[in-house]
């Protein structure tokens, strides 16, 4: 889009917004489907994201427009999720509802204009960016106070309870706590966040397969349920464990014959991912970038073989990337079942290398993946 977020606001609502907030997209670096299993995950906020411009209205209406959708209108207090073309409004409306329940008082409605620099549908969580940008904008508008973790929880609660997606805290947490030139580590059991400096000279490339399973949300919910069932079965042997992240690899192996074979594979993915997050932390501390890359590759293999959340196109992208000597490692990023692959590369990996991969992919599937390079950026914030 060529106009600024304030100009876009002016086009629809005439005049200046009183507040502007920005929230970034995120990369899931490693720790796949660990978040709702009380585990460890490392991600990074990116520079691209969503900007929200808001202003109070004189009446009790909420009007929301986005550069991807129509102008929508509903009365303040009408907080029912909608289906169809306007379902993107469930994110800011869900956030409004959650913030109201947490004590945000709204006497008047608001005008909200949403603009995005984040490619949607590539697994970089435009939904968390929308939630967090809305939360920061509304907090400023209605003088509501919370801290960074509070903003992350508001976004997650809106997603879980209003949008109806049983996600963990990864997307909203990384979006909230992002820091330029850093990775963000989350312990989802304690909701502790910390930062890890990005090794110098490393880059992120995203290769979007442009394909997704038709029933992506129900596939995610199915994995969520399988993980819940896996821990239920394992509890027969380990009654004190409340999540899969409290089960060690040795314990899982010892109980292998007593749990359902599919649930064993799901558990093996989560237990393995937690171990790989720890391995990546140690490797980053000693700047052993090849060991980091090996863990990324192993994570993808586990998605493919254990968690069954990869696709043929994603596997092909990872296989092609692994052939390049400038690539440390590659894996699907985010929930899976389609979407994008993330590669960590050295600084000599260039568009020319990316184009070779795109051409090889096209030879197999008849179309090119969307490719872009991104950098770690700062977390969600009020701009003005």
Examine residue 313 and tell whether it contacts ligand GLA (CB under 6 A): no
Structure tokens at 268: 């093996």
Examine residue 212 and tell whether it contacts ligand GLA (CB under 6 A): no
Q: Are strands 370-374 and 202-212 parallel, antiparallel or unpaired?
A: antiparallel
Non-local CB neighbours of 218 within 8 Å, separated by 6+ positions:
none
Minimum distance from residue 210 beta carbon to ligand GLA (Å) = 18
| Among residues 168, 293, 377, 379, the one that binds ligand GLA under rule CB under 6 A | 168
| Among residues 28, 48, 226, 313, the one that binds ligand GLA under rule CB under 6 A | 28
Examine residue 208 and tell whether it contacts ligand GLA (CB under 6 A): no
- Count of Cβ atoms closer than 10 Å to residue 214 Cβ: 8
- Pattern 31-70, ligand GLA, x by CB under 6 A: -xx-xx----------------------------------
- Count of Cβ atoms closer than 10 Å to residue 260 Cβ: 13
CB nearer ligand GLA, residue 156 or residue 203:
156
Examine residue 171 and tell whether it contacts ligand GLA (CB under 6 A): yes
| Among residues 54, 114, 170, 343, the one that binds ligand GLA under rule CB under 6 A | 170
Tell me which stretch binds ligand GLA (CB under 6 A): 15-23, 55-63, 164-172, 340-348. 164-172
Minimum distance from residue 239 beta carbon to ligand GLA (Å) = 26
Residue the block writes with tokens 């209605």: 142
Minimum distance from residue 290 beta carbon to ligand GLA (Å) = 24
- Burial status of residue 136 (CB atoms within 10 A of its CB: 0-12, 13-18, 19 or more): buried
CB nearer ligand GLA, residue 35 or residue 131:
35
Q: What are phi and psi of 263, to 5 degrees?
A: -65, -30
Structure tokens at 298: 């192993």
Contact 343, 293 (CB under 8 A): no
CB nearer ligand GLA, residue 124 or residue 284:
124
Non-local CB neighbours of 17 within 8 Å, separated by 6+ positions:
5, 6, 9, 53, 54, 55, 111, 113
| Among residues 46, 132, 135, 167, the one that binds ligand GLA under rule CB under 6 A | 167
CB nearer ligand GLA, residue 113 or residue 340:
340
Contact 207, 293 (CB under 8 A): no
Minimum distance from residue 65 beta carbon to ligand GLA (Å) = 25
Tell me which stretch binds ligand GLA (CB under 6 A): 27-35, 57-65, 176-184, 198-206. 27-35
- Burial status of residue 345 (CB atoms within 10 A of its CB: 0-12, 13-18, 19 or more): buried
Structure tokens at 215: 């029933």
Q: What is the DSSP letter of 161?
A: I
Concerning whether 355 is annotated as a catalytic residue, the answer is no
Judged by CB under 6 A, the number of residues near ligand GLA is 12
Sign of CA dihedral 137, 138, 141, 144: negative
| Among residues 5, 17, 38, 334, the one that binds ligand GLA under rule CB under 6 A | 334
Q: Distance between CA atoms of 284 and 379, rounded to whole angstroms?
A: 22
Examine residue 158 and tell whether it contacts ligand GLA (CB under 6 A): no
Q: List binders of ligand GLA among 108-147 (CB under 6 A).
A: 125
Examine residue 173 and tell whether it contacts ligand GLA (CB under 6 A): no
Sign of CA dihedral 238, 243, 247, 253: positive
CB nearer ligand GLA, residue 171 or residue 281:
171
Q: Distance between CA atoms of 89 and 216, rounded to whole angstroms?
A: 20
Contact 9, 17 (CB under 8 A): yes
Minimum distance from residue 32 beta carbon to ligand GLA (Å) = 5
CA-based R_g, the chain, Å: 21
Which position among 2, 35, 59, 171 bears the catalytic label? 171
| Among residues 335, 338, 377, 379, the one that binds ligand GLA under rule CB under 6 A | 335
Annotated catalytic residues are: 171
Q: Which residues bind ligand GLA (CB under 6 A)?
A: 28, 32-33, 35-36, 125, 167-168, 170-171, 334-335
């Amino acid at each position: 889009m060529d106009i600024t977020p304030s100009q876009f606001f002016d086009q629809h609502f005439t005049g200046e917004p009183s507040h502007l907030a920005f929230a970034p997209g995120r990369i899931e670096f490693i720790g796949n489907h660990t978040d709702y299993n009380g585990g460890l995950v490392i991600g990074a906020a990116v520079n691209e994201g969503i900007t929200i411009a808001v202003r109070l209205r004189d009446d009790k209406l909420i009007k929301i427009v986005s550069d991807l959708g129509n102008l929508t209108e509903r009365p303040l207090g009408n907080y029912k999720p909608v289906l169809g073309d306007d379902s993107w409004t469930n994110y800011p409306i869900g956030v409004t509802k959650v913030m109201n329940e947490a004590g945000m008082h709204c006497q008047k409605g608001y005008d909200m204009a949403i603009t995005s620099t984040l490619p949607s549908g590539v697994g970089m969580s435009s939904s968390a960016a929308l939630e967090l940008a809305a939360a920061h904008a509304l907090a400023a508008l209605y003088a509501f106070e919370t801290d960074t973790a509070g903003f992350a929880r508001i976004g997650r609660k809106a997603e879980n309870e209003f949008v109806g997606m049983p996600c963990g805290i990864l997307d909203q947490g990384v979006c909230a706590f992002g820091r330029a030139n850093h990775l963000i580590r989350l312990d989802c059991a304690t909701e502790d966040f910390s930062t890890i400096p990005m090794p110098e000279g490393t880059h992120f490339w995203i290769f979007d397969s442009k394909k997704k399973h038709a029933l992506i949300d129900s596939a995610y919910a199915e994995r969520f349920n399988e993980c819940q069932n896996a821990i239920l079965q394992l509890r027969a042997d380990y009654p004190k464990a409340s999540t899969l992240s409290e089960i060690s690899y040795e314990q899982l192996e010892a109980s292998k014959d007593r749990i359902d074979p599919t649930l064993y594979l799901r558990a093996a993915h989560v237990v393995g991912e937690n171990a790989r997050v720890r391995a990546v932390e140690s490797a980053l501390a000693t700047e052993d970038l090849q060991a980091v890359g090996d863990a990324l590759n192993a994570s993808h293999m586990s998605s493919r073989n254990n968690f069954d959340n990869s696709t043929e196109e994603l596997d092909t992208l990872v296989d092609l990337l692994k052939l390049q000597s400038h690539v440390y490692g590659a894996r699907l990023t985010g929930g899976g079942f389609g979407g994008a692959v993330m590669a960590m590369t050295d600084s000599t990996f260039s568009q020319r290398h990316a184009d070779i991969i795109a051409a090889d992919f096209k030879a197999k599937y008849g179309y090119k993946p969307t490719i872009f390079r991104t950098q770690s950026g700062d977390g969600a914030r009020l701009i003005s």
